[in-house]
Structure 1
Amino acid sequence: MLASRWFRIVGPLAVVLLAAVLRLWNLGNPHSLVFDETFYVKDAWSLWNNGYESTWPEGADTRFNAGDTNIFTDEGSFVVHPPLGKWLIALGMAAFGADQTWAWRIVTALIGILAVVLLMVIAKKLFGSTLLATIAGFLMAIDGNAIVMSRVAILDNSVMFFALLGFGAVLMDRDWHEKRLTAWLAARRAAGEHPSWGPMFWWRPWVIAAGLAFGLASSVKWSGFYFLAAFGVYLVVVDALARRRAGVPFWLSAAVLKQAPATFVLFVPVAAVTLLVSWTGWFVTQGGFYRQYAASAGSAWTGPFAWVPHVWQSFWHYQVAIYQYHVGLSTPHPYQANPLTWLLMTRPTSMFYEGTTLGQNGCASASCSQAILGVANPLIWWAATAAILYLVYRFARYRQWQVGLILMGMVAGYLPWLAYLGRTVFEFYTIVFEPYLLLGLTFVLGMLLREGPLFLPASPALPADMPADLRAALHDESDRAEASRRTVGIRIVAIFLAVALLVSAFFYPLWAGIQVPLWFWQMHMWLPSWV
């Protein structure tokens, strides 16, 4: 009991400390804008100063890297993502200086650490086990995709965090809703009533919280709306099934026609308002891109919508332009990756690469490489992919709600991208659904460990008239067999986690931009497509 109590505190704290070290150590390396930081860091800084994203002069990256940061113009720049993620990046620069490389990335890194904490909280609620929660957090703490996306100041880590926050709120609503539904029906039946539809709940605080979280995700990138849509459907389905279990006669029509409208009002408007609030800087200033569009000659709406204020007409025009950009983006890129291959991890994104020779920048070999490669820990990633495929089978057979909820995270984060197979997309987008991959892997590890109430084996069903001594003998034999299986499972999981940690240690230099000999970099190119 003392050991368990000790682990419940020290285990999660150790995971958080490990996640922090891997994300914060030497965060300012490399001392230059890498990959899409060239857009988001500069956009964040002009957004902080002007209230809207602005254009930059020719050669701005070189000057920005050198510390000459206040060279943005007053002219609005066409940006295709909402502002929240850039506001978050700007916080670090405003606090510690835009000329500090680590300041560009500090908020993204902190979000990555908080995501590990949040994943452990969710896993504890989902599986009822501190050990499994710690394992889930450990897997995310040491995985390369999560580390790289926390060490580079781009937007997707923030989308992942807010979407995971909404996922947690949906998980909390499940218990909240079912308890109140059961209590309401029990009270009516005790009074002699027999409700055919059941109640309409207008107060579901966790649904409101989920709408806010998914709205925040959508305020970073529009892909957050996929989570809003998927879990909006999920809430209706869960309500219908809860009413059926409770014995409500018209459970389906009650869920769709009675509770669903109330859920929509609680869920969607708060997300929409959150998105609009994120654009406050554009609304309250005058220089943002398309800000004066409707005021220009011949651009204002005519007819029945002519009364709409020009600022809203301009905003709508801007959003349409953003949508057209997204659906039409097909510019070839050397590191684009077809979504069908994401789970196989065949084309990770090279965020940064610099080759040097002996004597250059401290290179002590004939040739050196300094790289940031957005590749996950292969052992964790491929094992998690296999686990998710198993969970699809398990859900079809056993209908476990925990499995269904995990798979819903994958549906929201991954499946919509299969509609954009011709679009230019990248492997690092997978960070948005990585938490659900890891929850799926943790589920399978929990099965091996026989850990937590979800995975405790059922006692063998024995005939009621069986002699007591024979019953006791069979129970003892069952216990011994179960202890043997548990021991084997513990060994398998311990070996898997130890090897995963070693693989992460092997790959970490390529995740953190550490200069290594070229031959060492080549040892990490496990697939030809990784080069």
Structure 2
Amino acid sequence: MADTAVIERPVGGAHAAPPTGRSPFVARLADRVPWLLRSAGWVGPIAVALFAGVLRLWNLGHPNAFVFDETYYPKDAWSLLQQGYEGSWPNNANEQLLAVPQTIPLGSSPAFVAHPPLGKWVIALGEAVYGLHPFGWRVVVALLGTLTVLMLARIGRRLFGSTLLGCTAALLMSVDGLQLVMSRTGLLDGVLMFFVLAAFGCLLLDRDRTRARLLADGVDGGSVRLGLRPWRLAAGLMLGAACSVKWNGAQILAAFGLLTVLWDQAGRRRAGARHPWRAMLRHDAVPAFASMVVVGAATYVASWSGWFATSGGYDRQWGEGRSGFGPAAWRGWWHYQSEMWHFNTTLTSPHTYQSNPWSWLVQGRPVSMYWQPVSTGQQGCTAPGGCTTQILALGTPLLWWTACFALAYLLWAWFFRRDWRSGAVLCAVAAVYLPWFGFQQRTIFSFYMVVLVPFLCLAVAQMLGAVLGPPGCSVRRRAWGGVAAGSVVLAVMGCFLYFLPLYTAQVIPMTDWQDHMWFTSWI
């Protein structure tokens, strides 16, 4: 198994090794203040998460406008909050809501929506506290975006056995423009990202704990019954929630389900099982299916509880008077699912900012979520040629371009060095990214890749760990590696700072905006 720059023992792993490679100063400091090492695994991640939270919550109510598809989801969320299902709105609802919030009565007729309801229920939590206002429909998504940074630091720490690399991955994600924009808008993809990463972390915890149990028993690993595995159940719950936000979660559930049974097989082999595949199929495959698929499906159906509990939702009465299996409500619900499938697989209406998945990793066609010209003398604009304000869903370019090299490194480490960590990250990348190539004719957008950002940051962190070098190498090698890795992180942060005005709708001169458009495809 390949090793990156591990500066601590693997967290929670079954084969933990004592710390190595610490400088005498760090060793003396740790001896005098033992709690530093005990708390470092939380202090660093929390500090990075606080930094990310400031970026995501600062001036969150600006702009006071519906940004891109916020014209749909916040209103759907408010309908769910008020009546349990998505209702119709007047054509002029946007202008009236922004001028005098919460004064427009909901229509009694239901509205067809193309996505399951859980993501909109999440948005509704903020609206329940702050009302139908831009801050209200963005705040919970922003909080989840911040929690995702904290989760990534802890996941990276466990995956690489290094607080430094875990915090590096989290810091990189905190300064990714796409993750920032999608955390500051009331859309569904940031919510989907949270549940997918949470599921990945749960499976990682399950892997470590089950391997520890297999090795602790001291018997043939093929005969051990592991019983209830709560972290895998939690992963099934999170993946079911992901499917309940957007159907993209289904392919990720399938990939993560395959990943966990492969981990089971490898764990039993390492524990001494003579026939690890047979042992996995006998003891682990069926429980894995129940934990992931059955729990996920139950979670998905439960997310529609508002639709089932009321009578006015779209297709709610479709099953009345029609023959078929099960209650009328179930038949109507199933028909609704088929209509959603048809819509999501046949949407080909052209859009200015649609793009092909081939361009997504290099950020070839970012989506302009919001753009308004600002005349000289208005909103603080003093430029003779006027100003503009924009929200551009652009991943920090240097981070994404570096991630392309990092993915190539992970492919090499996984194929030639059998590095399971690289395989885990690549599995997530493939599950999120590759299915979109099957929709070449569908209208799709690059901001869907916000779900990919955590795993790209893990890939970059792993590559930077290899650049830094293992603890056992020479001081000179570590010093040069530290300079190189640190330079990459600082360059990414500088690039993020340069594009920050375009991520937060700041008023900038038109000439500055043109300077930020590095490629014509960004306009």
Tell me if structure 2 keeps the 8 A contact 1:85–1:219: yes
Unaligned residue ranges in structure 1 (runs of 5+) = 190-194, 458-478
Partner of 1:202: 227
**Cα separation, partners in 2 of 1:254 and 1:108, compared to 1, 3 Å:** same
Distance (whole Å) between structure 2 residues aligned to residue 262 and residue 200 of structure 1: 11
Partner of 1:83: 117
Tell me if structure 2 keeps the 8 A contact 1:50–1:74: no
Partner of 1:159: 192
Deviation at 1:384, TM superposition (A): 1.2
Partner of 1:192: none
Tell me if structure 2 keeps the 8 A contact 1:53–1:79: yes
Distance (whole Å) between structure 1 residues aligned to residue 313 and residue 46 of structure 2: 44
Deviation at 1:252, TM superposition (A): 1.6
Partner of 2:285: 260
Deviation at 1:443, TM superposition (A): 0.2
Tell me if structure 2 keeps the 8 A contact 1:201–1:262: no
Tell me if structure 1 keeps the 8 A contact 2:388–2:513: yes
Q: Which amino acid aligns with 1:129?
A: S
Tell me if structure 2 keeps the 8 A contact 1:200–1:262: no
Deviation at 1:68, TM superposition (A): 3.6
Partner of 2:504: 512
SS for the counterpart of 1:153 is: coil
Distance (whole Å) between structure 1 residues aligned to residue 380 and residue 105 of structure 2: 32
Partner of 1:318: 336
TM-score w.r.t. the length of structure 2 is 0.90
- What is the CA deviation profile of residues 188-219 of structure 1, one whole-angstrom value per residue up to 9, with x for unaligned ones? x5xxxxx8x53443311111011011111111
Distance (whole Å) between structure 1 residues aligned to residue 291 and residue 41 of structure 2: 36
Partner of 1:493: 485
SS for the counterpart of 1:132 is: helix
- From 88, 99, 102, the equivalent of 2:135 is 102
- From 337, 354, 363, the equivalent of 1:336 is 354
Tell me if structure 1 keeps the 8 A contact 2:362–2:397: no
Partner of 1:177: 210
Partner of 2:323: 301
**Cα separation, partners in 2 of 1:8 and 1:214, compared to 1, 3 Å:** closer
**Is 1:411 paired with 2:430?**
yes
Partner of 2:316: 291
Distance (whole Å) between structure 1 residues aligned to residue 308 and residue 187 of structure 2: 24
Partner of 1:246: 271
Deviation at 1:36, TM superposition (A): 0.4
Deviation at 1:238, TM superposition (A): 1.4
**Is 1:269 paired with 2:294?**
yes
Partner of 2:108: 74
SS for the counterpart of 2:374 is: strand
- What is the CA deviation profile of residues 12-34 of structure 1, one whole-angstrom value per residue up to 9, with x for unaligned ones? 33312220111111111110111
Distance (whole Å) between structure 1 residues aligned to residue 244 and residue 480 of structure 2: 47
Partner of 1:56: 89
Deviation at 1:257, TM superposition (A): 4.6
- The count of residues paired between Structure 1 and Structure 2 equals 488
- What is the CA deviation profile of residues 266-287 of structure 1, one whole-angstrom value per residue up to 9, with x for unaligned ones? 2211111111111111000000
Tell me if structure 2 keeps the 8 A contact 1:355–1:370: yes
Deviation at 1:362, TM superposition (A): 3.4
Deviation at 1:227, TM superposition (A): 1.6
Distance (whole Å) between structure 1 residues aligned to residue 373 and residue 254 of structure 2: 45
Distance (whole Å) between structure 2 residues aligned to residue 492 and residue 39 of structure 1: 45
Distance (whole Å) between structure 1 residues aligned to residue 359 and residue 105 of structure 2: 41
Tell me if structure 2 keeps the 8 A contact 1:236–1:260: yes
- What is the CA deviation profile of residues 475-525 of structure 1, one whole-angstrom value per residue up to 9, with x for unaligned ones? xxxx6xx21111111111222222222211111110001111011111111
Q: Which amino acid aligns with 1:275?
A: Y
Distance (whole Å) between structure 2 residues aligned to residue 67 and residue 269 of structure 1: 45
Between 57-66 and 26-35, report the one with greater CA deviation. 57-66
Between 127-136 and 23-32, report the one with greater CA deviation. 127-136
Deviation at 1:249, TM superposition (A): 2.3
TM-score w.r.t. the length of structure 1 is 0.89
Distance (whole Å) between structure 2 residues aligned to residue 401 and residue 7 of structure 1: 25
Q: Which amino acid aligns with 2:86?
A: E
SS for the counterpart of 2:319 is: helix
Distance (whole Å) between structure 2 residues aligned to residue 310 and residue 9 of structure 1: 51
* CA-atom RMSD in angstroms: 1.7
**Cα separation, partners in 2 of 1:418 and 1:456, compared to 1, 3 Å:** farther
Deviation at 1:426, TM superposition (A): 0.6
The equivalences for 1:397-436 within 5 A come to 397-436=416-455
Runs of 4+ residues deviating >4 angstroms: 3-10
Tell me if structure 1 keeps the 8 A contact 2:374–2:507: no
Percent of paired sites with the same residue: 42
Distance (whole Å) between structure 2 residues aligned to residue 446 and residue 92 of structure 1: 39
SS for the counterpart of 2:392 is: strand
Unaligned residue ranges in structure 2 (runs of 5+) = 1-25, 31-35
Q: Which amino acid aligns with 2:114?
A: V
**Cα separation, partners in 2 of 1:9 and 1:260, compared to 1, 3 Å:** closer
**Is 1:392 paired with 2:417?**
no
Deviation at 1:8, TM superposition (A): 5.5
Distance (whole Å) between structure 2 residues aligned to residue 8 and residue 238 of structure 1: 25
Deviation at 1:133, TM superposition (A): 1.5
Partner of 2:57: 24
Deviation at 1:356, TM superposition (A): 2.1
Distance (whole Å) between structure 2 residues aligned to residue 340 and residue 243 of structure 1: 39
- What is the CA deviation profile of residues 349-372 of structure 1, one whole-angstrom value per residue up to 9, with x for unaligned ones? 110000122123432222111000
Tell me if structure 1 keeps the 8 A contact 2:119–2:245: yes
The equivalences for 1:464-503 within 5 A come to 482-503=474-495
Tell me if structure 2 keeps the 8 A contact 1:198–1:243: no
Distance (whole Å) between structure 2 residues aligned to residue 146 and residue 247 of structure 1: 43
Q: Which amino acid aligns with 1:79?
A: V
- From 183, 193, 199, the equivalent of 1:150 is 183
Tell me if structure 1 keeps the 8 A contact 2:46–2:150: no
**Is 1:45 paired with 2:46?**
no
SS for the counterpart of 2:67 is: coil
Distance (whole Å) between structure 1 residues aligned to residue 465 and residue 55 of structure 2: 26
Distance (whole Å) between structure 2 residues aligned to residue 16 and residue 249 of structure 1: 45
- What is the CA deviation profile of residues 215-260 of structure 1, one whole-angstrom value per residue up to 9, with x for unaligned ones? 1111111111122110111111111222223332222233235421
- From 229, 232, 248, the equivalent of 1:223 is 248
Partner of 2:365: 347
Tell me if structure 2 keeps the 8 A contact 1:338–1:425: yes
